[in-house]
Amino acid sequence: MLEGKKIILGVCGSIAAYKSATLVRLLVKAGAQVQVVMTPDATNFITPLTLSTLSKRPVYSDYFKPETGEWNNHVELGLWGDAMIIAPASANTMAKMATGLVDNLLTAVYLSAKCPVYFAPAMDLDMWKHETTQQNITDLQSFGNILMPPGSGELASGLHGEGRMAEPEEIVAFLTDDIKKKLPLFGKQLLVTAGPTYEAIDPVRFIGNHSSGKMGFALADELASLGADVTLIAGPTAQISKYKSIKRINVTSAADMLQECLTYFPAANACVMCAAVADYTPATVSAQKIKKHDDGLNIELKKTTDILKTLGGQKRDGQVLVGFALETQNEEQYAIEKLEKKNLDLIVLNSLNDAGAGFKGDTNKITLIDRQLHKTTFDLKNKAEVAHDICIKLIELLKK
């Protein structure tokens, strides 16, 4: 959820500022870009050099650079972020935020921010319990700011109670969960298949196809980025998912893929069958390597179970099933026949006659056809963009 996100981290004058180093490291590790803005007092607790080294960006604490007179533009900083976290948020800074007092760069950036603002209070027990602090927190939340509640434990004063800043791991988890809850596919279970299947002839040979799995993996990544809980059933491929949250199940044959699909399909809100599953498999598999003969080799093939048709027959009301059709002739006719025969809600058509479409490449050109035979044709795009187009249509279908 944090991959590529731009996070403004505000650090206030508090003993808990030492935790900011770990927080920056965790955010960067999660793939976020982190811009640290410190109050002048915060620099007494942790050095800007430490946070700059960890964030790989300069740290700002003044309106301008004394050595050059260059202005640190608080408006640009406020507009830059996808989210702003103030951690630790001292009682002093929260009071300024609640009343609109701007006497340092951090509060100026806060007032300029257009993104969601999270704050993680850190202070002693009596300061935390004070009526003015609690009123300031209430006011900040009424403005739309999001409280990351403090923990309870031993405080710097020696007292024991509320006021400890949330741990960095808790802050990252809170931010991740909050972002995910706002995404269009949050709470949805999505099943995706990708890649080829290999049908064994003997221990060293197989029947397969040229599918790389790139399109299916791009779809799984896009669905995960939209908040879905994704299960990816992948045939033999070198592709790697971008998101660790994706549950990947590796299979080899069409029979293996069928078994896993039957296991996970019933719980899925939607299934996107992007895999290039073999239509035929050897009737018998030799236990030993078949030796070469001068008179050629005949292999008897039998049909594999049609996974897409099988799932279409089991599909319940409200469940969305998406199939793919890679054709070389009569493309739309064959795609519509497949859509209807296999009880699909959407079919993604691409043609090997279109330059840049098909297996292995990084681009694709698709046409989407739904149950009402509404057709949408897209230009040639990279597969990540194609995945986004498919997912926009999928979101629309899940809302019906």
**For residues 74 and 109, is the Cβ–Cβ distance under 8 A?**
yes
CA dist., res. 329 & res. 351, Å (int) = 8
Take residue 325 and report the two structure tokens written for it. Answer: 């059709």
Length of the chain: 400
Q: What residues are labeled active site?
A: 209
Of the candidates 367, 337, 369, 373, the one whose C-alpha atom is nearest the C-alpha of residue 351 is 367
Contact 84, 112 (CB under 8 A): no
Q: What's the gap between Cα 229 and its chain centre?
A: 9
CB contact set of 164 (below 8 Å; sequence gap of 6+) = 16, 122, 150, 151, 152, 153, 154, 155
DSSP 17: G
Residue 289 assigned as binding residue: yes
C-alpha to C-alpha distance for 41 and 290, rounded to whole angstroms: 77
Q: Is 338 annotated as a binding residue?
A: yes
Question: Is 342 annotated as ligand-binding?
Answer: yes
Would you say 382 and 363 are in contact if contact means Cβ atoms under 8 Å apart?
yes
Whose tokens are 């001292």? That residue is 90
Identity of the amino acid at 19: K
Fill in the DSSP letter of residue 15: G
Paired strand residues for 321: 271
Whether the Cβ atoms of residue 10 and residue 92 lie closer than 8 Å to each other: no
Cα 261 from Cα 253, distance rounded (Å): 12
Tell me how far apart the alpha carbons of residues 193 and 261 are, in angstroms, rounded to a whole number: 8
| Residue 188, marked binder | no
Measured between alpha carbons, how far is residue 349 from residues 85, 193, 320, 328 in Å? 44, 16, 17, 11
Residue 40 to residues 11, 14, 203, Cα–Cα distance (Å):
10, 11, 69
* Closest alpha carbon to 338 in 360, 367, 300: 367
Q: Is 279 annotated as a binding residue?
A: yes
- In the annotated binding site, the residues are 279, 289, 324, 338, 342
Binding-site residues for CTP? 279, 289, 324, 338, 342
